[in-house]
Structure 1
């Protein structure tokens, strides 16, 4: 797990463990998502945003976080293309799988956004075996 991932996960875990203004514990959901976008100020850096879904049924009004770097974001549903891979994920492995996914989609003529992609992790950071990871590309509706 990279420093960014470890730090982001730690902040989110503290939030669902009660580091919020209601001191409410919130059930952990999966996958943990990392949204990745190119950084407009740098050709080599990327902008990362880590999060997970909170069901409107389980948590209809999420408590405000105490940590100012943690925030609630309401998202619209996404249609994505995904590729599954196993083991511990790192940036090199994720990029390799992302290229494979893009290549497969290009071969069959499917369109996808090129300015954002997602990494989805379903396993606990402490799970050693049978880990499930995915890379997601956001589908562009057929014209």
Structure 2
């Protein structure tokens, strides 16, 4: 009974995280979103494993990071008009995966962030495409467990332009934050590198941007979310 209760709590916790806290926190108690944060360490990464990175440049409202090779387990693309709804739907699969519904029947530790790669639609009422991914713990990365309807993404080392924002992720904020990141990068060498990477079909060409979510819905302060624009630079 205690184990079942714990599993239900973990599922509620994770789905709430991915739904922007809906049905968990009344909007009147939600903190005002603060955009353009730079260099704030996500609090959850002091408690659970997160991918390691090096900050190579801090700009006005953004930073450039370099990530080593990482492994992610990902859903197939989900067509939806809402990032929040698509992410909630996708996470049922990811939660089952870490609870042992994989070919190795292996339970896997929770990590952060959970990311949603976004490929927007061409029109306001058309469905976008969302691929939701779970960062595989380092100890599992040499041989990540396969699973039905999920696929493994093995990321090569890459650079990522990052904009941080606080509060709870919602469909109304992510587009604005992504546009703000794009605007802050304009005229920089980083913007040119991002564009070239997309044109060459390299890192970052498979989506317009990525949303990274780190926190529990029960954390009222210190919330950190991120917009990512991955790219590569020829060394």
**TM-score normalised by L of structure 2:** 0.52
**Which residue does the alignment assign to 2:218?**
127
8 Å CA contact 1:33, 1:121 repeated in 2:
yes
C-alpha offsets along residues 31-56 of structure 1, whole Å, 9 cap, x if unaligned?
111111245xx544321111022144
**Equivalent residue of 1:71, what SS?**
strand
- Where does the alignment leave 5 or more consecutive residues of structure 1 unmatched? none
Among candidates 147, 154, 159, match of residue 74 of structure 1: 154
Q: Once superposed, what is the RMSD of the aligned Cα atoms?
A: 2.3
Deviation at 1:3, TM superposition (A): 1.9
Deviation at 1:119, TM superposition (A): 0.4
| Aligned ranges 1:1-143 → 2 under 5 Å | 1=19, 2-38=84-120, 43=123, 44-65=126-147, 68-109=148-189, 110-111=191-192, 112-113=194-195, 115=205, 116=207, 117-124=209-216, 126-129=217-220, 130-139=222-231, 141=233
How many residue pairs are counted as aligned between the two chains?
138
1:107 to 1:71, Cα distance in 2 relative to 1, 3 A:
same
| Greater than 6 Å deviation, 4+ residue runs | none
In 2, Cα distance between the equivalents of 1:7 and 1:29? 19
Higher Rg: 2
8 Å CA contact 1:35, 1:49 repeated in 2:
yes
In 2, Cα distance between the equivalents of 1:62 and 1:137? 25
- Where does the alignment leave 5 or more consecutive residues of structure 2 unmatched? 1-18, 20-83, 199-204
> Please, which moves more after superposition, 50-59 or 7-16?
50-59
> Please, which moves more after superposition, 15-24 or 81-90?
15-24
**TM-score normalised by L of structure 1:** 0.82
1:60 to 1:82, Cα distance in 2 relative to 1, 3 A:
same
Deviation at 1:140, TM superposition (A): 5.3
